Amino acid sequence: MATSRDIAVIGWAQTPMVRQTDLTETQMLMRVISDALTPLGLTRADVDFTCLGSCDYITGQAFSFVSNLDAIGAWPPKRDSHVEMDGAWALYEAWLRLHEGDIEIAVVTGSGRSSTGDPALIYPMEMDPFFLAPLGVDPLTFAALQARAVIAAGIADEQSMAEVAIRARGSGDLAVLLASDYVRAPLRRHDLPPITDGAAAMVLATGARARALVARPAYITGFDHRSECHNPSFRRLDDSPSTRIAAAAAGLGERAVEVAELQAAFTHEEMLLRHVLGLGAGVTVNASGGALRANPIMATGLCRVGHAADHIFGGGSRSLAHSTSGPCLQQNLVCILEDRP
């Protein structure tokens, strides 16, 4: 598809990322959308399109996204959509929508309260309904099996995984971490993401409007997402072909990126993704701490795009954001941001 390279991220905001918030998802969105729009001098009345990413299974309430609509401002009427996906996929839909050329400003969000229940019981419901969900196969099991494959392929080892954890969290002693017990071998506590409540909102604008609103729009110059078979039984777990294809389609090979924000909830995922994307030592990966520091499910990927956009806002010229969904990196999204269209 012929794409316009003249669509940009012009701002974003995130709520405090906490283990448990007393705020409802709607309240979080109410505040974070305002926090994203206000510094740009925009109000909800300026927004032409909204797309929200959230998950009913996490909330435990059917059609929970309907109450989230209270946060977007129903008047004047705006075009609205929802994805049962991370907000990074809401961003993808908004980016597509802006290609139509008839509107200028879109807001996307990702929101989730992971603290509502036990992830080990909630997530199996989203797996293969015939062979995996009935066995209660949980995220830690999938991650551990993939970690074994990544280690066996020589892409990571338990020490390098612990080093990823220390870098991401800015703390930890290697010897102490490696002496700790396995949670789900070969994964230890430090290899796992925290449970986080949080939300993010992002503002997109088309070319002239973007340039009128901010000095340095972060132009989306490449955007693609690909999916693999839903059942890890049929996939090579020491590879991520969907990431590789999405990155190529997004134009990663055209020019080096300075910064990459990867949605790697587990330490070995970051190492696998770096390997598959071919990110060299010169690329700063997950300076934000990534999902190992804060993992607000359904917003984690959108936050990656936000941090990659911050690099452009702050004077950088090219950055990459990655988001993922499904067991063992089933589906992967790559977004390239640049300082000029």
Partner 1 sequence: MTRYVESTITFPYRRSLGPVLGAFMTALTQRRILGARSGDEVLVPPMEWDPASGAELSGEMVEVGPAGTVESWTWVGSPTVQHPLDRPFAFAFIRLDGATTPLLHAVDVGSPDRMRVGQRVAPRWKPQRIGHITDIACFVPGEEPTVDGEEPTEADGPAADVAGPVAMMDYVASITYRNPVPPAADRAIAASREQRLLGLRCPICERVYVGGRGYCPIDAIELGPDTEIDLPHRGTITNFVVVTPVQYPGQTETEPFARVFVLLDGYDVVLGYQPVIDLPVDDIHVGLRVAAVWASPAEVGDSDGGGMGQSLGSLIGWMPSGEPDIDDPDLVNRIF
Q: Indicate which single residue of 5, 79, 169, 184 sits in contact with partner 1 (rule: CB under 8 A).
A: 184
CB 263 to partner 1: min, Å: 22
**By CB under 8 A, is residue 96 in contact with partner 1?**
no
Q: Which of 327, 332, 280, 336 is nearest to 301 (CA)?
A: 332
Q: Which of 249, 233, 247 is nearest to 283 (CA)?
A: 247
Over the Cα atoms of the chain, what is R_g?
19
Please list, in sequence order, all residues whose beta carbon lies within 8 angstroms of the beta carbon of residue 209, skipping any fewer than 6 positions away: 104, 105
Place of tokens 């229940």: 117
Q: Give the residue with the Cβ less far from partner 1, 66 or 208.
A: 66
Binding residues for partner 1, how many (CB under 8 A)? 59
Backbone angles phi, psi at 151, to 5 degrees: -70, -45
Q: Give the residue with the Cβ less far from partner 1, 50 or 300.
A: 50
Round to whole Å and give the CA distance between 72 and 120: 32
Residue 53 near residue 89 (C-beta atoms within 8 A): yes
**By CB under 8 A, is residue 71 in contact with partner 1?**
yes
Stretch that binds partner 1, among 69-77, 82-90, 247-255, 263-271 (CB under 8 A): 69-77
Stretch that binds partner 1, among 60-68, 87-95, 172-180, 260-268 (CB under 8 A): 60-68
At 90, is the secondary structure helix, strand, or coil?
helix
Quote the Cα angle for 99-101-104, to 5°. Answer: 95
Stretch that binds partner 1, among 54-62, 172-180, 199-207, 316-324 (CB under 8 A): 54-62
Q: Give the residue with the Cβ less far from partner 1, 129 or 314.
A: 129
Stretch that binds partner 1, among 7-15, 66-74, 85-93, 202-210 (CB under 8 A): 66-74
**By CB under 8 A, is residue 22 in contact with partner 1?**
yes
- In 153-216, alpha helices (H): 158-169, 174-178, 207-213
Q: Which amino acid is at 153?
A: A
How many other CB atoms are found less than 10 A from the CB of residue 59? 22
Q: Indicate which single residue of 160, 231, 284, 317 sits in contact with partner 1 (rule: CB under 8 A).
A: 231
Q: Which of 230, 199, 5 is nearest to 114 (CA)?
A: 199
Stretch that binds partner 1, among 70-78, 88-96, 171-179, 263-271 (CB under 8 A): 70-78
Side-chain half-sphere CA neighbours of 260 within 13 A:
25
Q: Indicate which single residue of 24, 160, 284, 317 sits in contact with partner 1 (rule: CB under 8 A).
A: 24
Q: Give the residue with the Cβ less far from partner 1, 17 or 308.
A: 17
How many other CB atoms are found less than 10 A from the CB of residue 280? 8
Q: Give the residue with the Cβ less far from partner 1, 80 or 258.
A: 80
How many other CB atoms are found less than 10 A from the CB of residue 77? 7
CB 80 to partner 1: min, Å: 12
Binding mask 113-142 for partner 1 (x = CB under 8 A): x-xxxx-xxx-xx--xxxxxxxxxxx-xx-
**By CB under 8 A, is residue 70 in contact with partner 1?**
yes
Sites of contact with partner 1 (CB under 8 A): 21-24, 26-27, 30, 33-34, 44, 59-61, 67, 69-75, 113, 115-118, 120-122, 124-125, 128-138, 140-141, 144-145, 148-149, 182, 184-187, 229, 231-235
